[in-house]
């Protein structure tokens, strides 16, 4: 049954609440952190975020650490990867 059922994207995101998430923006910027919450526009709040600015998506150039919570506008988010960065 669940094999044939369509997985709803927002349910997937919901299940990653309180777990590490990897958020890839449209630009060459990525964030990881613990997913605190999100809304229907996929604005996202993450905790203790690490920001990665990649060099044309090939190598990781810069790592910025942010403490506390961060709100990411859903506008620029392209992909969300549950489980964090690989």
Partner 1 sequence: MLPLYLLTNAKGQKITIELKNGETIKGVLTNVDNWMNLTLSDVIQYDSDALNNGAEKPEGLSVPEIYLRGTYIKYINLQDDIIENVRQQINSSSNNNNSGSGNTGSGGGYGGSGQGKRQNRYNSGNSGNYSHSYRRGGNKRNYNQGSGNRRSYYDKVNNNNSNNNNGMGGYVQHHQSGPQQPQFNENTASVQF
Partner 2 sequence: MSEMEQERRGTSHQQHGGQHHHHSQHKKKFEGPKREAIVDLAKYKDTKIRVKLMGGRLVTGVLKGYDPLMTLVLDETVEYLRDLEDSSIILKDQTRDLGLTVIRGTVLLSLSPVDGSETIYLQMED
Residue 86's binding partner out of partner 2, partner 1, none, with CB under 5 to 8 Å set by partner kind: partner 2
Interacting span for partner 1 (CB under 8 A) from 9-17, 24-32, 56-64, 73-81: 9-17
For residues 49-84, one letter each, b for 16 or more C-beta atoms within 10 angstroms of the residue's C-beta and e for the rest, the string is bbbbeeeeeeeeeeeeeeeeebebeeeebeebeeeb
Candidates 78, 77, 81; CA nearest to 32 is 81
Among 18, 19, 26, 73, binds partner 2 (CB under 8 A): 26
Residues that bind partner 2 (CB under 8 A): 6-10, 12-13, 22, 24-28, 42, 55-58, 74, 77-83, 86
């Amino acid at each position: 049954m669940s094999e044939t059922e369509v997985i709803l994207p927002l349910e997937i995101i919901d299940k990653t609440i309180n777990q590490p998430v990897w958020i890839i923006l449209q630009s060459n910027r990525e964030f990881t952190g613990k997913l605190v919450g999100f809304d229907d526009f996929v604005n996202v709040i993450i905790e203790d975020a690490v920001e990665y600015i990649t060099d044309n998506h090939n190598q990781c150039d810069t790592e910025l650490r942010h403490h506390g919570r961060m709100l990411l506008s859903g506008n620029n988010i392209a992909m969300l990867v549950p489980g964090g960065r690989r």
